[in-house]
Amino acid sequence: MVAAQPFWLAKSLEELSAQEWESLCDGCGRCCLVKLEDEESGEVYQTDVACQLFDADSCKCSDYAQRQTRVDDCLQLTPQRVAELTWLPDSCGYRRVYERRPLPSWHPLVSGDGDSVHRAGASLQGRVISELQLPAEQLQERIVVWVDVAD
């Protein structure tokens, strides 16, 4: 008897249930970073500044259910947006499923451990500041290049 493939290998993003969709998030926190876009080139720059609702210790939103009503530019990921967002890290579970690639070994769905993303150094845990701590005019000084953690 052949074992069934895990849902993330067997389904496309559009086919996922709401629970499966949410579980694809590895908890890295990179979606919650403040990003700057060059209006002329369209290039997106990442910073080490996180959304006001981001908890840098847990790498989770402090008000996930109400995030879009509380933060005007909070971006909800959808299958269509995953295809368009070039700034999603190479390790992102949504990006990997979209590209039909396996999840990294440290992804909680693979490891069975929600903290494996932090131990692998793939999360923002303890490496960002809140946008509430920084005047908006200083954002350009906080542009960084995040290195993806290889599997």
Give the pLDDT of residue 146: 92
- Sorted by where each begins, the domain ranges of the chain are 7-27+51-127
Mean pLDDT computed over every residue of the chain: 94
* % of the chain exceeding 90 in pLDDT: 93
Give the pLDDT of residue 148: 85
d(CA 73, CA 89): 19
The answer on pLDDT for 1 being more than 90 is no
Give the pLDDT of residue 115: 96
List the structure tokens of 95: 């990006």
Q: Mean pLDDT over residues 43-58, rounded?
A: 96
d(CA 133, CA 38): 23
Residues with Cβ within 8 Å of residue 74, at least 6 apart in sequence: 51, 53, 67, 68
Give the pLDDT of residue 40: 95
The answer on pLDDT for 3 being more than 80 is no
Residue 2 — very low, low, confident or very high, per pLDDT cuts 50/70/90?
A: low
Q: What is the enclosing helix (H) or strand (E) of 119?
A: helix 116-119
pLDDT tens by residue, 5-31: 999 999 999 999 999 999 999 999 999
